């Protein structure tokens, strides 16, 4: 359904008039806000927030251990490890499915 974005930006009084495809989707500028509002309507947090924070963070943000001892842990490192693990699992799944179908 071709419609308008209808998101009211902060500091503005009238809604966005850029074309959007469907009531649940926003324009290219307000799509994130529409998805966040949709999840908030269901009393949930948008799962994409986890990836959004990781990509918007500086590459080497570190956090000191609470007691002051121990290694400094980077938020980005944990994200990279998870993505590497998912990539390896996906690759193994592809190879196994090819072997099974032969």
> Domain limits of the chain?
1-46, 47-102
Q: pLDDT at position 62, please?
A: 57
Contact partners, residue 9, CB within 8 Å, separation at least 6: 16, 30
pTM: 0.48
pLDDT band at 86 (very low <50, low <70, confident <90, very high): very high
Q: Which carries the bigger pLDDT value, residue 68 or residue 79?
A: 79
Closest CA to 34 of 6, 67, 71: 6
- The pair of structure tokens assigned to 1 is 């359904």
Entry field: residues in the chain: 102
Query: What pLDDT sits at residue 98?
Result: 93
Pairwise pLDDT comparison (59 vs 49), residue with the higher score: 49
């Amino acid at each position: 359904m071709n419609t308008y974005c209808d998101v009211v930006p902060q500091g503005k009084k009238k809604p966005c008039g850029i074309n959007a495809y469907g009531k649940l989707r926003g324009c290219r500028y307000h799509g994130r806000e529409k998805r966040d509002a949709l999840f908030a309507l269901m009393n949930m947090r948008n799962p994409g927030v986890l990836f959004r924070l990781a990509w918007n963070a500086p590459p080497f943000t570190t956090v000191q251990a609470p007691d002051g001892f121990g290694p400094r842990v980077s938020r980005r490192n944990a994200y990279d490890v998870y993505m590497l693990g998912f990539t390896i699992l996906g690759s193994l799944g592809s190879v196994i499915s090819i072997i099974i179908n032969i």
